[in-house]
Structure 1
């Protein structure tokens, strides 16, 4: 996902406002706003009437949809692998056979097209059931383009990483697919599919929340635009009263932004899923979704901050106009 960098202003909650100590009326507040270092000395509303693009949230939603598709593809691939392994013939294993003496890397020499077993653990040329297991894995999980691109692992390496090194070790030790190893592979593959199904559901929840937040932000931004457009169309003699009303209403919009930010913080503290990603940072679900992206780690908060900054700037400009008309 490629998005722009975040706004320079830090979003503070709650907004402390511009009211000085002992200042209790709108004229005092407006005077304070007009003397803020960042306040302009002339009102030029025409250039700020356009609606914001909300690129952070929209790019985040697109990234989530793409990740959800990949997760569902992986779910389907593991289900297919489990089905294919369940249909394979198994081999008998000697009662004194133990997987502990054979490293998981012993499968490394077996490919979809055949080949021997490295480091011992089976007959020369490998057992046909071993080749069939790895061929099934290659045709299902590793057939996903993103899987190969991201992990660059052999079938044996990926199988050990996804389903446990002991399963690869057992395959090599048994010299083929034993009934016990078959059961373990099928069970773990279905669990891997279930885990991805749960993850896809959590991503769905995030997509829904992103859409809801964008709707709320768009509504605030439309009202911001209408207020400014209304102010431009006010007739002579009513400019000051209209500007004060718009200034107050912009303050209400800013408080709505504060509320949206607080709500989003709650969501961040209570994610729909807490995956074990082995990452040493907080909020791993959101780190998983947005950490690899070029944009902000928390796109909704960045978007709220951008809108709040825009409202604050508009309000300063309106306040400057009112102070100049007094």
Structure 2
């Protein structure tokens, strides 16, 4: 991007518009996943378990309440978690792969191998509740990101409007004192722009802490905006605004030198 103010216009196809759309999509997908997990949780709670009874004589492969429970859980999982609209596009995992990703290898193995006793049921319930908590926490973080995005965008365009106020009329020939005033205004706007950037970076750090993830994990913009031209569209726009202000200030200072 260049530092031309036109590129900072809040157009739907600009970087900030693209960020808003990506954020909306991610929030809807996370909501769908939360609702699917909640439905799955309720269905698992209603599945009866019967612990195996030791029997004598040759083993026979028969339909038992245990294996029926495994099949019921599988149907519930496929019809909820694996049926969200974006599942194939974003994940595309098999049943086993999805179980391992959500609940871990031990629970996945127990379900696949046909053992749905009380311990397995409680493990599935606990892991599902944990996954639900993670989605709820992520939704709260996405809401915080939406607020940060809206607030930062408003501040960007407030500064931009004031930058535009430092532009001469087509035939304008401002005095040295007028140019000096414009330079002072632009210096103040640069300081405000730097403050906006600092606040945005602080918001990103807060969001990362809110997720309770390792420091090495991607932050919210890196995850939500990874498919955009700019991974950090808001900070990129702020940087463009800062460059625009710097260019304007240099132009004013050059004219001040010529006016002496």
- Give TM class, smaller chain: 0.7 to 0.9
Q: What is the correspondence of 1:119-158 to structure 2 with a 5 Å cutoff?
A: 123=61, 127-158=67-98
Residues 1:57 and 1:320: Cα distance change in structure 2 (over 3 Å): same
- Show structure 2 runs of 5+ residues with no match: none
Q: What is the correspondence of 1:1-326 to structure 2 with a 5 Å cutoff?
A: 6=1, 52-53=8-9, 55-94=14-53, 123=61, 127-173=67-113, 175-228=114-167, 231-232=168-169, 238-271=174-207, 272-276=209-213, 281=216, 284-290=219-225, 292-326=226-260
The number of equivalent residue pairs is: 250
Residues 1:263 and 1:200: Cα distance change in structure 2 (over 3 Å): same
TM-superposed CA distance for 1:193, in Å, is 1.0
Instruction: Find the residue that maps to 1:270 and give its secondary structure.
Output: helix
CA contact (8 A) 1:129 1:177 kept: yes
* Partners of 2:63 and 2:84 in 1: CA distance: 28
Instruction: Find the residue that maps to 2:231 and give its secondary structure.
Output: coil
TM-score (norm 1): 0.67
CA contact (8 A) 2:40 2:77 kept: yes
Q: Deviations over 1:177-220 (max 9, x none)?
A: 32332222122212211110011101111110111111111100
- Considering fraction of residues, name the structure with more helix: 2
Moved more, 216-225 or 249-258: 249-258
* Partners of 1:172 and 1:324 in 2: CA distance: 80
- Show structure 1 runs of 5+ residues with no match: 1-5, 10-47, 97-121
CA contact (8 A) 1:234 1:242 kept: no
Residues 1:253 and 1:179: Cα distance change in structure 2 (over 3 Å): same
> Which protein has the larger Cα radius of gyration, Structure 1 or Structure 2?
1
TM-score (norm 2): 0.83
Q: Deviations over 1:277-318 (max 9, x none)?
A: 7xx84653443223x223333322211110011111122222
Q: Which runs of 4+ in 1 moved over 6 A?
A: 233-236
* Superposition CA RMSD, Å: 2.9
Q: Deviations over 1:95-126 (max 9, x none)?
A: 79xxxxxxxxxxxxxxxxxxxxxxxxx93789
Residues 1:71 and 1:282: Cα distance change in structure 2 (over 3 Å): closer
